Amino acid sequence: MSRGLLEKHRPFLPISPKTPMITLGEGDTPLVPSSKLARELGCPNLYFKLESCNPTGSFKDRGMVVAVAKALEAGSRGIICASTGNTSASAAAYGARVGVPATVLVPQGDVAFGKLAQAQAHGARILALNGSFDQALTLVRSITQTHPLTLVNSINPHRLEGQKTAAFEIVDDLGEAPDLLCIPVGNAGNIASYWRGFQEYRRAGRAKTLPKMMGFQAEGAAPIVLGRPVPHPTTLASALRIGNPATWDGAVSARDESGGLIDTVTDDEILEAYRLMASGEGVFCEPASAASVAGLLKLHRKGLDLQDLTVVCVITGSGLKDPELALRFVQSEVTEIAAEAKEVEAALLAPMAQGRRAP
C-alpha cells in the first residue's frame, strides 16, 4: 500500500499533528537508467526521474498534496490556481479527493487537451482566460487577497516544500547526489525546490555533495536567460509558455549557488529530444519535459565530457497529456487492413514506409 509523500518524507515537511495525511499515491517515482542516450552521449551514468509516474501524470502532485493538506488543516473553503495545464489537473484531482472545490484559470486555447480533460473530469471550475498564463497568475494573486480561497500556485510555500522531496528520492536511489541535474524551467518553482531538497538532505547528512543545477527554458519563453520578462512567450511546449516566472529569484540562486546554468533550447531541439525519448528510450514525455534532455544534448554538442558524470534528467510530465502533438510531430504510420491473416502477413512483409513528418 502506498504510504504517500506526506508520510514518507514527514520529518522534512511542515506537518503538524493536525495535518490530514492525504494521498493519491504521489512520489516514490522511478529513477530509470538510460539505455540509448547513455551510449550515444558517452554518459554511462545517465538517469531519468520519471515524474510522469505521479497520479495525475506530472511532478505537480508532490507540491499539491502538501498545499491541499495544509489548506484543509487551515479550514480552507476552496483552492484556486493559474496554470499552463498540469497544476490545474493536479489541483482538480486533489480538490476532488478531499472534497474542496477547485477553480483553475487557464490561458484559453493554450493548454494541452489531456490536462484540460483531467481538470474537467475532476469537476474543477475552469475559467479560460482571454490572456496569458502570466496574466492569470496576476489575477489569482489579487483575487486571493480579498476572497477566502487558498492559492495553490508555487507562490504557496507548501508547494515548493512538497516538490523538494524528488531530490531526496534521487539521493536515496543513487546513494549520493548526482553531478548534474537537468530540469525544465517555466514558472521556476521546481528548480528552486530541487535545490532546496539537495541542500536540506546534505545538511541532514544524507549526501556529501550537491549537484550543479542545469535549467532549460524554451528559447521563445526564456525570461531568466534574457534577464527580463517576455511579454508574449512562445514555444510548442505549452507548459513552458511563461514570461515572468514567480520563483525567478529562487531559480537564479539555484543556478548561481550550485555553479550551474540556465540556458535555452529551441523548439526543434525539444522535439528532437521528445522523439528520442519516445522511440529510443521508451519514455513518452511531454515536450516541456523533453527540454531537460534537449539541454543535455546541447551540453554534449558543445563538448562537455559526460563520461565520469552522474546525470539526472527530470521528466516532469507524461506524453499522454498531449496526444495530438505526438501525432503531429513524430514519424508514425498506421496501415489499414482487412481482418484477414493474409493481410496481416502481407503487411508484416512489406517494408516500413517512411512515415510522414510534419514540418
Instruction: Name the site residues for ligand AN7 (rule: CB under 6 A).
Output: 58, 60, 83-87, 184-190, 239, 286, 288-289, 316-317
- Residue 163 Cβ, how far from ligand AN7 at the closest point, in Å? 7
Indicate the residue type of 51. E
d(CA 130, CA 166): 34
C-alpha cell, 155:
507562490
> 219 vs 345, which CB is nearer to ligand AN7?
219
141's CB contacts (< 8 A; 6+ apart) are 151, 155
> 125 vs 206, which CB is nearer to ligand AN7?
125
> 4 vs 189, which CB is nearer to ligand AN7?
189
- Residue 156 Cβ, how far from ligand AN7 at the closest point, in Å? 13
Question: Pairing relation of β-strands 125-129 and 102-107?
Answer: parallel
- Residue 188 Cβ, how far from ligand AN7 at the closest point, in Å? 5
> 62 vs 212, which CB is nearer to ligand AN7?
62
φ, ψ for residue 31 (rounded to 5)? -105, 105
d(CA 176, CA 298): 25
> 97 vs 206, which CB is nearer to ligand AN7?
97
- Residue 281 Cβ, how far from ligand AN7 at the closest point, in Å? 17
> 260 vs 317, which CB is nearer to ligand AN7?
317
For 143-176, give the DSSP string. HHHHSS-EE-STTSHHHHHHHTHHHHHHHHHHSS
* Residue 211 DSSP one-character state: P
- Residue 213 Cβ, how far from ligand AN7 at the closest point, in Å? 12
Where is 264: in which H helix or E strand? strand 261-265
- Residue 238 Cβ, how far from ligand AN7 at the closest point, in Å? 9
CA 311 to chain centre: 17
94's CB contacts (< 8 A; 6+ apart) are 22, 24, 61, 64, 65, 68, 79, 102
